[in-house]
Amino acid sequence: MNIHVKLNRKEPQIESDPCLVEKVVELTESEFHHFQENLLNDYDFIRENVDLMYQDQDGIYHCLLVLGEGQDDGIVVEAEGSFYARYSALVPNARQLIQSAPELCPPPRELKTISPEQLDIISAKHLLWLYDEGGEQADFTNCDLSALDLRHRNLNSALFVGARLYGAALDDAQLCFADFTGADLRDCSLRGITADEIVFKNAAAQNCDFTGAMLMHGNFTGADLSTAMITNAVFRCSCFDSARIPVELLMRGNPEHYSINEQEWDAASSPVQSM
Residues 13-65 have pLDDT tens digits of 777 889 999 999 999 888 999 999 999 999 999 999 999 999 998 889 999 99
Domain that holds residue 130: 111-275
CA distances from 61 to 3, 15, 19, 78, 239 (A): 27, 15, 5, 7, 37
| Torsions phi, psi for 244 (to 5 deg) | -100, 115
- Shared domain for 41 and 132, answered yes or no, is no
- Residue 160's CATH number: 2.160.20.80
Long-range contacts of 155-164 (CB under 8 A, 24+ apart): 155/123, 155/126, 156/130, 156/275, 157/130, 157/275, 158/126, 162/28, 162/109, 163/111, 164/111
Residue 125 lies in a domain: yes
- Shared domain for 91 and 129, answered yes or no, is no
CA distances from 200 to 118, 128, 183, 195, 204 (A): 24, 25, 8, 10, 8
Cβ atoms within 10 Å, residue 50: 15
Q: State residue 105's pLDDT score.
A: 65
As a whole number of angstroms, the distance between CA 82 and CA 98 comes to: 25
Residue 155 lies in a domain: yes
What pairs with residue 27 in β-bridges?
68
Q: State residue 260's pLDDT score.
A: 82
Q: Which of 85, 104, 123 is the last residue of a domain?
A: 104
**pLDDT tens per residue across span 195-227:** 999 999 989 999 999 999 999 999 999 899 989
Q: State residue 106's pLDDT score.
A: 63
Cβ atoms within 10 Å, residue 179: 23
Place 5 in a pLDDT band, splitting at 50, 70 and 90: low
Q: State residue 273's pLDDT score.
A: 46
Residue 140 lies in a domain: yes
**pLDDT tens per residue across span 248-269:** 776 665 555 678 888 888 877 6
pTM assigned to the model: 0.69
Q: Which of 68, 85, 104 is the last residue of a domain?
A: 104
- Shared domain for 149 and 89, answered yes or no, is no
As a whole number of angstroms, the distance between CA 154 and CA 74 comes to: 39
- Shared domain for 206 and 91, answered yes or no, is no
- Shared domain for 119 and 236, answered yes or no, is yes
- Shared domain for 100 and 135, answered yes or no, is no
- Shared domain for 179 and 252, answered yes or no, is yes
- Shared domain for 131 and 264, answered yes or no, is yes
- Shared domain for 264 and 153, answered yes or no, is yes
Which H or E run contains 204? strand 204-206
**pLDDT tens per residue across span 82-103:** 999 999 999 988 888 877 666 6
Query: What is the distance, to the nearest Å, from the Cα of residue 229 to the centroid of all Cα atoms in its chain?
Result: 18
- Shared domain for 59 and 143, answered yes or no, is no
Residue 46 lies in a domain: yes
Per the structure, the count of domains in the chain is 2
Cβ burial, residue 64 (10 Å; 0-12/13-18/19+): buried
Q: State residue 248's pLDDT score.
A: 76
Q: State residue 104's pLDDT score.
A: 67
